[in-house]
With several copies, the nearest count.
Chain A
Amino acid sequence: MTEDGIRCDGRRVDQLRNISIKAGVLKNADGSAYIEFGKNKILAGVFGPRDVHPKHMANQDTGILRCRYHMSPFSVTERKNPAPSRREIEISKVLKEALQPALILKDFPRTVIDVFVEVLQADGGSRCAALDAAAVALADAGIPMRDLVSACAAGKVADRIVLDVNNEEDQEGQADMPVAIMPNVGKVTLMQLDGILTPEEYKTCLQTAIGGCKTVYEVQRRALVERYFESGEK
């Protein structure tokens, strides 16, 4: 990083990578979205609410949410084995718990909502980008939501708190903190941290990330507006 805070990819410390989101990109899924977030290229598809198979997993008091985060074999530098890794299973759980607060599952007892995320190309922050796409796909599926979920990481690179750590920064970075919020409700629904921060840095990092989430939210909104009010496609 330069002394003026210009990062290896030319961004300022508080600047997001380029983001574009398109809703309704898949034909078979009930809802879908495609996101490019820096070099991340991620698809999300949603099915449901629908019947649960196997049936004994159904809950008569509430709907359930399932989430699968999966990386394509060609998405990373070294070819990835297609079988889900422990990392992918953990991220699947964390994403599910980040999306669930935005849903009103009690209204759909005995059903399941399935969220499938495929990382076609991975860069730093793929779990946040996955979440951004998944939230748009849920909205695209017409599933009632309390709010969107918007995600973005902040971190510490070269002793400075920066927004939206990319892959190169993550390799050398001192800390990475993915965060997701429900922007209107004001809740943090995903938060993780790897790396070392002072309490003061922790506070700054969290606020920086939340700022980024709010910017992401505008991109998500625009994708839904384009899908439903500006194109005659659906």
Chain B
Amino acid sequence: MGSAILDQLRLDKILDLLKQGKRLDGRALDEQRPLIIETGVIPKANGSARVKLGNTEVITGVKVQPDKPFPDLGDKGILICTAEILPLADPHVEPGPPTEEVIELARVVDRGIRETEMIDLHQLVLIENKSVVGIFIDSSVIDSAGNLFDACSYASVAAVLSSTIPKYEIKDEAPVLVEGVTSKPPVKTLPVSVTMARIGDYIIVDPSKEEEMCMDARITITTNSTGNICALQKGGNDGFSVDQLLKCSEMALSVGTKIRKQLEQLM
């Protein structure tokens, strides 16, 4: 019961500020928290990044290794994108199999990279239908303070950009590593994920944990470098009006531009 009262008080306070165009942490409604990206933090991985989005912090590592292609997708390399909220990141997370929240997080991050066709998977084939290169992008949330979608997405994109792809030769039908020869990943576009929350009639960008606790609905929109919309996921226990959805797509494009510039510096 106490918790329900606190929830109500928090919502009242936040709504009160929103009416004045303000947020708890002093940001404007369409303002993201500061984004700090550091790459190469895990030298043993083929690529890596540590991202801070406000107090949310994520480490992503990229592993590149030969694999078998998926059936019926023999002309493409493999792309696997996972996400995990480490139990040290949040007092309410417990070790164990992934919850539906975490599965959604991983799949939304994956779709942002997959649907924008960021990586040209056709360039990762060693022998068609038999042997391809697999790219595994694993994100670990180490501090959970709201908007894990964008933080994991930025860390994943940055880790891919920072990565080097080893060269493999085929000997006796099996891939063999060629030491010392690497290339840049075949990147075609930069996906930028922007998550917004609706609280009452207000749309805010990059919700903090407190804002997520009282938001009505959530939307994550991923755009590509040519200004198209490539992936979208609505979440939360209420809906959006059509006008709000159109406004969200505009915000995703405008807010995303700044992030894209920050990511481009890593190329």
Query: Which residues from chain A sit less than 8 Å from chain B, CB to CB?
Result: 26-30, 32, 39, 41, 43-45, 47, 50, 53, 60-61, 68, 70, 72-79, 82, 84, 86-87, 89-90, 92-94, 97-98, 100-101, 114, 116-118, 120-122, 177, 181-182, 185-199, 202-203, 206-207, 210
Count of A-B contacts judged by CB separation below 8 Å: 193
Is the beta-carbon distance between A39 and B44 smaller than 8 angstroms?
A: yes
A111 to chain B, nearest CB (A): 13
Given A191-B232, A194-B231, the answer on whether A86 and B250 have CB atoms closer than 8 Å is no
A51 to chain B, nearest CB (A): 11
Which B residues are CB-close (under 8 A) to A74? 42, 44-45, 48, 60-63, 136, 138
Is the beta-carbon distance between B84 and A82 smaller than 8 angstroms?
A: yes
Closest 10 pairs between A and B when the two form their complex, measured CB to CB: A74-B61, A45-B88, A187-B239, A193-B232, A189-B239, A116-B88, A79-B63, A73-B138, A191-B234, A74-B45
Which A residues are CB-close (under 8 A) to B245? 188, 191, 206
Is the beta-carbon distance between A195 and B115 smaller than 8 angstroms?
A: yes
Q: Which of A61, A101, A114 contacts B87 (CB under 8 A)?
A: A114
- Count residues on chain B whose CB falls below 8 Å from chain A CBs: 66
Q: Which of B4, B90, B101 contacts A61 (CB under 8 A)?
A: B4
A196 to B231, CA, bound (A): 7
Main secondary structure of the interface of B (DSSP, over half): mixed
Residue of B with least CB distance to A76: B44
Query: Which residues from chain B sit less than 8 Å from chain A, CB to CB?
Result: 1, 4, 41-45, 48, 55, 57, 59-63, 65, 82, 84, 86-91, 94-95, 100-101, 103-104, 106-107, 111, 115-117, 136, 138, 140, 142-145, 219, 224, 227-242, 245-246, 249-250, 253
Residue of B with least CB distance to A47: B91
Q: Considering residues A74, A79, A114, which has the most beta carbons from chain B within 10 angstroms of its beta carbon?
A: A74
Which B residues are CB-close (under 8 A) to A94? 104, 233-235
Residue of A with least CB distance to B55: A27
Given A73-B138, A90-B107, A188-B242, the answer on whether A97 and B90 have CB atoms closer than 8 Å is no
A174 to chain B, nearest CB (A): 10
Which B residues are CB-close (under 8 A) to A45? 86-89
Which A residues are CB-close (under 8 A) to B4? 61
